Amino acid sequence: MSKLNILLLGSGGRESALAWKIAQSPRTARLFIAPGNGGTEAYGTNVSLSPLDFTAIKQFVADNAIDMIVVGNEDPLVAGIYDFFAGDSVLVVGPSKDGAALEGSKDFAKRFMMRHSIPTARYESFTSANIADGCRFLESLRPPYVLKADGLAAGKGVLIIDNLDEAKKALAEMLGGMFGASSATVVIEEFLSGIECSVFVLTDGEGGYRILPVAKDYKRIGEGDTGLNTGGMGAVSPVPFADKTFMDKVEQRIILPTVRGLKEEGIVYRGFIFLGLINVGGDPMVIEYNVRMGDPETEVVMPRIASDIVDLLEGAAKGSLGDIPADHDPRTAVTVMAVSGGYPGSYAKGLEITGDLKPAQSILFHAGTRREPDGRLLTSGGRVIAATSYGDNIADALSKSYQAVDGIHFDGKYFRRDIGRDLMK
C-alpha cells in the first residue's frame, strides 16, 4: 500500500471535514492544510500559503514531496490550478480551467446543459448590448424573476424578484456593474418551484464516477428559511425525498449526460461535481453546477462515506476510479452551524471561543476559527463551527448537534434551531 503526502487547500468547515476524513486513511502519510484554521491542526499541519498563489504552492509541493493536491474551494480551480500543474508529477483533484467554467460561468453551464439535454430552467443570457431583449424576455416570463450574474459572486449573484419593473431595474443595475465584471453577462431564467438538494459526484474524467451521499443545506439566516442568504447554516444527509426512484432519474438524466458530455467535449475533469438540484414534482432539474464540494454539505457527506477517501481521490485524479468503492454509511448525519452575531452582514472577529470543544457525541468541524500562540481559540469568520452528529434519524442526530452547539460559547453566537425540520414532516 503506497502512502501519499497530501496538500489540502482551503480554510473552512468543508476543509475541516475533508481533512478529518483524509487523516483517517491508512494511505495518508502527511497531510498539510493551506491555510487551514484553528481546528484543522488536529488532522495535519497548517501552512500559511494562499490557495491562489500557485507559484508558492509549487515550491511547497517540491520541498515537501507532495503527491496529491486536493482543492476545497472554487477559486483556485476557476483560476486554473489543474492546468498549472499539468505535466507535473503531483496529482490534482479537480477540473481543468475549462471544466471549472461549469461554476465560473452560468452562461457556459446553461449552454452545456442545452447541448446535452440536461433538464434545467428555460433561460436566455444578456449583456448591455441587448438589454432591451432582456426586458422583453422578462415580460414573457411569469414572476418571480430569476436573474443570475454569469460569473463568480461569492454566492450573492442570484436575485429573485417578484415585480416586473423591479426585475428590469435589477437587470440594468447588474449589467451596469452591481457584481463587477461578474454581472457583465446576466442569465435570466424561469423560476422553478420545489425542494432543493445537493448531489455530489466524484468523476475520473474517463467515464468513471461515484455518487456520494446526498445532502440538503439550509441557506437562509432565519428560521423557516427567511432572511438573507448565507454560505449555509446547516445540512442533513441522507435526504428522504432523494429515494431510489428520484436518484435513478438524477443518474440517467443528469449525471451520465454530464460525465459523458465533458468527455465528448474534451474537457478534462477529475474531481468533484456538485449538482444543485430542485425536485419539481418528482423530476430533478439542475439549478446550478459547482465544481467542488458544498459547505456545509461536506460536513455531513464525509462522515457518511464509509470507504477510503484517499483511494477515491487518487482514483479520480489518475483517471482510474475503476471499482474503488464509495460505500455510504447508513446512519443519518446532520450538522448545525454556529455563526457570528450579525452574519451574513458585518460581525465582530477575534472573540474567544470557550466551552466543550470535544463533545463526546459530536464532531466539531471548525470553519472561522484561529488558534492564538497562547492556545486560545478565537472567531475569525462568519461561520464559526459546525457541529456534526450521527443518529438513527434526523431528530436523533439533531438533538446531539444542538447539545454540542449549546456547549460552545462566544459572544453573539447564533444558529438555526429548525435544521432538517422540513424533512421530518
344 binds ligand GLY (CB under 6 A): no
Diameter of the chain by CA atoms? 63
Give the bridge partners for 277, in sequence order.
197, 286
Residue 84's binding partner out of ligand GLY, ligand AMP, none, with CB under 5 to 8 Å set by partner kind? none
74 binds ligand GLY (CB under 6 A): no
Q: Which of 416, 217, 200 is nearest to 328 (CA)?
A: 200
Cβ closest to ligand GLY, residue 98 vs residue 217: 217
CA 154 to chain centre: 12
| Lookup: cell for 260 | 459523458
75 binds ligand GLY (CB under 6 A): no
295 binds ligand GLY (CB under 6 A): yes
Which residue minimizes CB distance to ligand GLY?
Answer: 294
Question: Rounded to the nearest whole angstrom, what is the least distance from the CB of residue 157 to ligand GLY in the complex?
Answer: 12
Residue 189's binding partner out of ligand GLY, ligand AMP, none, with CB under 5 to 8 Å set by partner kind? ligand AMP
Among 204, 297, 311, 314, binds ligand GLY (CB under 6 A): 297
Cβ closest to ligand GLY, residue 150 vs residue 217: 217
Among 44, 72, 294, 381, binds ligand GLY (CB under 6 A): 294
Binding site for ligand AMP (CB under 6 A): 121, 146, 155, 158, 189, 191-192, 196, 276, 287-288
Cβ closest to ligand AMP, residue 86 vs residue 181: 181
67 binds ligand GLY (CB under 6 A): no
Q: Which of 243, 389, 197 is nearest to 304 (CA)?
A: 389
Angle between helices 131-140 and 164-173 (to 10 degrees): 150
Question: Rounded to the nearest whole angstrom, what is the least distance from the CB of residue 184 to ligand GLY in the complex?
Answer: 22
Question: How far apart are alpha carbons 44 and 154 in whole angstroms?
Answer: 28
Tell me the site size for ligand GLY, rule CB under 6 A: 6
124 binds ligand GLY (CB under 6 A): no
232 binds ligand GLY (CB under 6 A): yes
Q: Which stretch binds ligand GLY (CB under 6 A): 113-121, 122-130, 292-300, 407-415?
A: 292-300
Q: Using omega within 30 degrees of 0 as the cis cutoff, is the peptide bond preceding 296 cis?
A: yes
CB contact at 8 A, 90 and 26: no
Question: How far apart are alpha carbons 295 and 302 in whole angstroms?
Answer: 11
| Lookup: cell for 139 | 415580460
Continuous segment of H or E residues that includes residue 193: none
- Collect contacts of 320-323 with beta carbons under 8 A, ≥24 apart: 320/204, 320/206, 320/208, 321/202, 321/203, 321/204, 321/206, 321/208, 321/209, 321/210, 322/208
290 binds ligand GLY (CB under 6 A): yes
Cβ closest to ligand AMP, residue 288 vs residue 314: 288
Footprint of ligand GLY on this chain (CB under 6 A)?
A: 217, 232, 290, 294-295, 297
